[in-house]
Structure 1
Amino acid sequence: MELSPSAHVDTFCRDRLPAFHLWPQLHYDLPELTYPDRLNCAQRLLDDAVGRWGADRPCLLTPTGRWSYGDLLRRANQVARVLVEDFGLRPGNRVLLRGPNNPWLVAAWFGVLKAGGVAVTTMPLLRAAELAQLHDISRPAVALCDHRYVGELGAADTPGLPVLAYGGDNDDDLVRRCETKAGTFSNAVTAADDVALIAFTSGTTGRPKATLHFHRDVLANADTFSRHVLKPRQDDVFTGTPPLAFTFGLGGLVVFPLHVGAATLLIEQASPERLADLVAEHGVTVLFTAPTAYRAMLAAGVADRLAGLRRCVSAGEAMPAQVWEEFRAATGVRVIDGIGATEMLHVFISAADDAIRPGATGKPVPGYRARIVDEAGDPVPDGEPGLLAVTGPTGCRYLDDPRQTAYVRNGWNITGDTYVRDRDGYFWYVARSDDMIVTSGYNVAGPEVEKALVTHPYVLECGVVGAPDDRRGMIVKAYVVLRAGVAPDEVAVKELQNHVKQTIAPYKYPRAVEFVAELPRTSNGKLRRGALRERAARAAG
């Protein structure tokens, strides 16, 4: 296997790709997956869109404003100029992005790609220690940060990292800098297999894994799942709740709508009721969110406000058949369920319309192949559980990480999910195969929460697992052994929960805390999380 000559002057990412023999199989079974050797996905998604459909088409909507395709193109070009002219950005440099879902985050993302940089979009709720870790892994040359979120970034250990805020009143603000720049820019002529973005996923050790995705990968997800399953139209209005730092959100709220000339409503934060109001108010037709949100909207009694939807997509965790049936009964919409992975960039098993079987994830998306294997990598018979293995036009490439050999085995991506395939070729979710907790569509590594908890003086030791929950699918539950003299009461529970919220991203905090005298351990002292999961399951049901 050979890569095209890179346009990156800074070869940090290419130098840290796994060795070719550790890559998964890649195949391009569909004609639309044939891309030229020189490809900048920003050119395809934005410049070409303006050329095809005009600058005046609605593009990025907010509850209070609107950017056309021409507006986004001009501002993305200005961001690219700021990066190159004011900060000396060179092709291949990484740029850390931090902020909630809004138009300037999208403009920043496109500006980075236009300049030939590598976008490193981070969750806005991450704390200083987490940001320092991502900085240490990706080594960005500059950070573009929403002015409301600079505090934690400023507190992070990121030596020498220039931070440019946007959206504030500072004279040095990115928005004000952009106003002084021309709205044109000559896009970097990147290779199709130059790295376009680094997306982080949590590992069970708590140390994030950095996944490397090429310019062609960004388009491949639009030419597989979006084109063949979602089938969006130019007159669609997209919206959803996943942050753009999640590849589920990046695809569903930016790549897929722009790929067809549609508009997307960006929401920074919304309750289920507010989300439903915005869907009705803005004529939203395509909604991306997690099963928790669909369940919450039904419980809030706002299904009548969803009448304009024609497509709903669910991912992040398996959608229970009961929720699917209830949502269809209330709205008439058949939710498109799917499984994706940060390593694969987006959804690779799904189904739509008459092909949906409630409770099943679906079949491999056109362009992908999937099977169920045992620990040795051998296929298991239909009807028997095993490990989900996938190949396609995208695949896992960790940045300089020995865990590559755990995710890619025998050329297949092993997602860490246990599945069953039925005799009709449908894939049915069974469970996670590792210690990851999937709660309301968010991935939380139990050991990471444990690390946060044990820094509190109350805690002698702890174990964190997922516990079944009707609303969120799972919740983070902590079993805590307290130090002598600490009362095991609700005051202690609140103290520990608040401590975790202040130490790592707040959504990772344990919603349930149980105080115990001791933790189950193996003979060599290793925590038996399986025993804790069984205990949590018994307590829940």
Structure 2
Amino acid sequence: MEPRSSAHTDTFTRDRLPPPGQWPRLADLGYPDRLNCGTELLDATIGRLGPDRPAMRDANGPVWTYGQLRDRVDAIARALTDDLGVRPGNRVLLRGPTTPWLAACWLAVMKAGAVAVTVLAAHRPPELATICRLARVRYALCDARSVADLARAGVPGLRITVYGGDGPDDLRRLARRRTGPFEAVATAADDVALIAFTSGTTGRPKGCMHFHRDVLAIADTFSAQVLRPRPDDVFAGSPPLGFTFGLGALVVFPLRAGASALLTDWGGPRRLLADIAAHRISVLFTAPTAYRAMLPELAGYDLSGLRRCVSAGEHLPAATWRSWYDATGLRIINGIGATELLHIFIAAADDAIRPGTVGLPVPGFTARVVGADGRPVPDGEPGLLAVRGPTGCRYLADARQTEYVRDGWNITGDTCVREPGGYFRYLARADDMIVSAGYNIAGPEVEEALLRHPDVTEAAVTARADAERGQVVVAHVVLRAGVPRGAATAAALRAFTKSEIAPYKCPREIVFHTALPRTPTGKLQRFRLRPGAPERGGPAPGGF
């Protein structure tokens, strides 16, 4: 699919797209050549449903209607272009807690035809400096509570505009001077709208470039055809907007459907349950660990408004699915996605759900399991997951493009099995597969067995080098309060896992922890548990 004529006067991102021959094969959903996703998500939705519907809220403040949101977005877009000098194609870094103001800044960047680079609160000055260098960021909109680390990053020439502060140049103050509609830039459908960075903890971070049409594609595939939201839905969840999982779940999907969203940071299972009850949340996005953490806390919270639960970012054990269903009557929609493809591309809902599997390719996507040679393997055999659809990997000037995209397919790095009937079962990240004495062992399978033990609240499995076996399985376990950490408990857990799975898969070593390292969305960071891992890392690879 050849690039169309760009509206960007700053051609940095267009110039650093991979050659078209290195792109994945992309499905065409029939979008027009000129398309601004900010206009489509906001103005077009108002045109269909009116301006007076609730759009966004935070935990304590008033609800913003669609009309109020548009007024604020247009005022910020005017401030960007008239006061700050942002031009189409310029990269604008966004940093702050999950709030309606952060979402409004993202939408304003879209309407101004610039490129959003949304980062996490977890990113530290060296990581921020690297992201700004790779994307050549010269503008930043930053919540007053999050500005310190960005300032310490010392990015040359970076103009930081704070919002939520009391300074004379605060973005909100600038925006109040700008009234009236803003005419959005008529971007091309394949102008870059955002750059999402994967983690730099295992090397140089990769910038994933996504177009305006890609933003709509994730709403028109997974959200519209699997999630099936309604205009009266209220969305909420734990993922921050710096992850594409959170951007889709809390901004793109609700706005495309004319629904509303609660935008607030993750505050633990009790806080999430309280928000679900207080705000009548009906659509929830979070990670498997959060569903597990909420289970013992459910009593006393009214979840009667909740009708859709989505899990992604980490393997969802069948036991967790069943426990949540038994306790709430709600079937979790399990999904698999990637930063490189922007959002979820395999999932199933309602009667199509088969616990223990991820599901079926989302309409618009195709998937298969291939061997190291790129050829499909028979159903039932493990291999690498290959996906293609309307979105796909386009790294920012990165030679690793040819590792991720092969023969027109996105090779996601997940080891899966395609079962008869077309369902996909996740085994592990390819680099989390353990080879011990010639056996292939999927770490998540061992974790799931350990989690079935009543004394285990969290589990992670890694490999340790072994002279005799090549690798051996090491289990990292968090125990229920009051259970002693010692040789007797370790022996009991090993005996239990041998009754659940084949003995060769069982851990030879068990290490007890008070907590396991996770990303802000609850994704397990196994790499931080491996021998020689740094004490602190950023978000897990694949930051979805």
Provide the TM-score with structure 2 as the length reference: 0.81
Helix, strand or coil at the partner of 1:306: coil
Q: Identify the residue that residue 17 of structure 1 maps to in structure 2.
A: 17
Which of residues 110, 113, 119 in structure 2 aligns to 1:113? Answer: 110
Asked if 1:88 corresponds to 2:112, the answer is: no
Q: How big is each residue's C-alpha offset from its partner over 1:283-318, in whole Å with a ceiling of 9 and x where there is no partner?
A: 110000000100000022448532321000000011
Residues 118 and 466 from structure 1, CA distance in 2 versus in 1: closer, same or farther, beyond 3 angstroms? farther
Match of 1:70 in 2: 67
- Report the more deviating stretch, 174-183 or 338-347: 174-183
- 2:55 maps to 59
Would the alpha carbon gap of residues 94 and 435 (structure 1) be closer, same or farther in structure 2, given more than 3 Å must change? farther
| Aligned pairs for 1:260-279 within 5 A | 260-279=257-276
Matched AA of 1:323: T
**Alignment counterpart, residue 432 of structure 1, candidates 429, 434, 438:** 429
Structure 2 counterpart of 1:45: 41
Structure 1 residues 77 and 510: CA distance shift in structure 2, 3 A: closer
- Any conservation in 2 of the 1:25–1:412 contact (CA below 8 Å)? yes
1:238 is matched with 235
1:168: how far off? 1.4
Give per-residue Cα distances to partners, 1:66-125, cap 9 Å, x unaligned: 111111101111111111011111100000000111011011001111111001000122
Mapped partners of 1:204, 1:407: distance in 2: 18
Deviation at 1:507, TM superposition (A): 8.8
Tell me: CA distance 1:403–1:7, structure 2 relative to 1, closer, same or farther (3 Å).
same
Whole-Å Cα distance in 2 between the matches of residues 42 and 256 of structure 1?
13
Contact 2:234 2:259 (C-alpha < 8 Å) held by counterparts = yes
Amino acid corresponding to residue 302 of structure 2 in structure 1? R
* 2:136 alignment counterpart: 139
* C-alpha distance in 1 between matches for 2:158 and 2:21: 34
Once the two structures are overlaid, the 10-residue window that deviates more, 174-183 or 290-299, is 174-183
Corresponding residue SS for 1:163: strand
Alignment match, 2:124: 127
Per-residue deviation at 1:190?
Answer: 0.3
Q: Does 1:226 align with 2:219?
A: no
Amino acid at match of 1:333: L
Q: CA deviation at 1:514?
A: 8.8
* Equivalent residue in structure 1 for 2:244, among 236, 240, 247: 247
Please identify, of 37-46 and 48-57, the stretch whose mean Cα deviation from structure 2 is larger: 48-57
The SS at the match of 1:305 is coil
For each residue in 1:174-198, what CA deviation from the matched residue of structure 2 results, as whole angstroms up to 9, or x when unmatched? 1111111114201000000000000
User: Structure 2 vs 1, CA of residues 337 and 2 (structure 1 numbering), >3 Å: closer, same or farther?
Assistant: same
Q: 1:513 Cα shift?
A: 9.1
For residues 266 and 81 of structure 1, what CA distance do their matches in structure 2 show? 24
Distance 1:377 1:50, change over 3 A: same
Instruction: Tell me which stretches of 4 or more aligned residues in structure 1 moved more than 4 Å.
Output: 435-439, 465-472, 504-515
Query: Which residue of the partner structure matches residue 4 of structure 2?
Result: 4
1:131-169 residue CA offsets vs partner (Å, 9 max, x unmatched):
001001111121000001110000003001010111112
The residue number in structure 2 matching 1:150 is 147
SS of the aligned residue for 2:378 comes to coil
**5+ long unaligned stretches in structure 2:** 434-442, 448-459, 463-472, 481-512, 534-544
Which of 359, 363, 367 does residue 362 from structure 1 map onto?
Answer: 359
Q: Secondary structure at the match of 1:71?
A: helix
CA spacing shift, 1:35–1:511, aligned 2, 3 Å = closer
Residues 236 and 261 in structure 2, CA contact (< 8 A), matched pair in contact too: yes
Closer/same/farther in 2, CA of residues 209 and 297 from structure 1, 3 Å limit? same
Q: How does 1:71-470 map to 2 (within 5 A)?
A: 71-202=68-199, 205-302=202-299, 304-434=301-431, 468-469=476-477
Q: When the two structures are superposed, what TM-score results if normalisation uses the length of structure 1? A: 0.81
Secondary structure of the structure 1 residue equivalent to 2:339: coil
Report the secondary structure of 1:169's partner residue: coil
CA distance in 2, matches of 1:110, 1:510: 31
**Take 1:61 and 1:182, find their aligned partners in 2: how far apart are those partners?**
22
Distance 1:256 1:153, change over 3 A: same
SS for the counterpart of 1:243 is coil
* DSSP-derived class of the 1:343 partner: helix
Separation in 2, partners of 1:174, 1:291: 37
1:292–1:471 CA contact under 8 A, matched in 2: no
Instruction: Name the amino acid aligned to 2:95.
Output: R
Cα distance in 2, alignment partners of residues 512 and 135 from structure 1: 25
- Residue by residue over 1:265-298, the C-alpha shift from the partner in whole angstroms, topping out at 9 and shown as x without a partner, is 1112321011001101111100000001000000
Equivalent-residue separation in structure 2 for 1:276 and 1:507 (angstroms) = 16
Q: 1:8–1:190: 8 Å Cα contact kept in structure 2?
A: yes
Distance 1:512 1:263 in 2: 36
Aligned to 1:312, what secondary structure does the other structure show? strand
Identity of matched residues, %: 58
Alignment size in residue pairs: 465
CA contact (8 A) 1:127 1:505 kept: no
Comparing 167-176 with 282-291, greater Cα deviation is found at 167-176
Cα offset, 1:12, TM superposition: 0.2
**CA separation of 1:467/1:42 partners in 2, compared to 1, >3 Å: closer, same or farther?**
farther
What's 1:458 paired with?
A: none
Checking the alignment, whether the CA contact within 8 Å between 2:368 and 2:387 is kept in structure 1 is yes
| Counterpart-to-counterpart distance in 2, 1:508 and 1:263 | 25
Whole-angstrom CA distance in 1 between matches of 2:529 and 2:60: 44
Give unpaired runs (5+ residues) of structure 1. Answer: 447-464, 473-492, 520-526, 530-541
Distance in 2 separating the partners of 1:471 and 1:170? 48
Contact 2:393 2:404 in 1 (8 A): yes
Kindly indicate whether the alpha-carbon contact (under 8 Å) linking 2:369 and 2:417 is maintained by their aligned counterparts in 1: yes
SS in 2 for 1:367: coil
Q: Secondary structure at the match of 1:383?
A: coil
User: By how many angstroms is 1:2 displaced?
Assistant: 1.8
Residue deviations 1:8-46 (CA, integer Å, cap 9, x gap): 000000000001111111113xxxx21000000011000
> 1:339/1:509 Cα in 2 relative to 1: closer, same or farther (>3 Å)?
closer
Cα deviation, residue 56, structure 1: 1.2
CA distance in 2 between partners of 1:260 and 1:514 (Å): 41
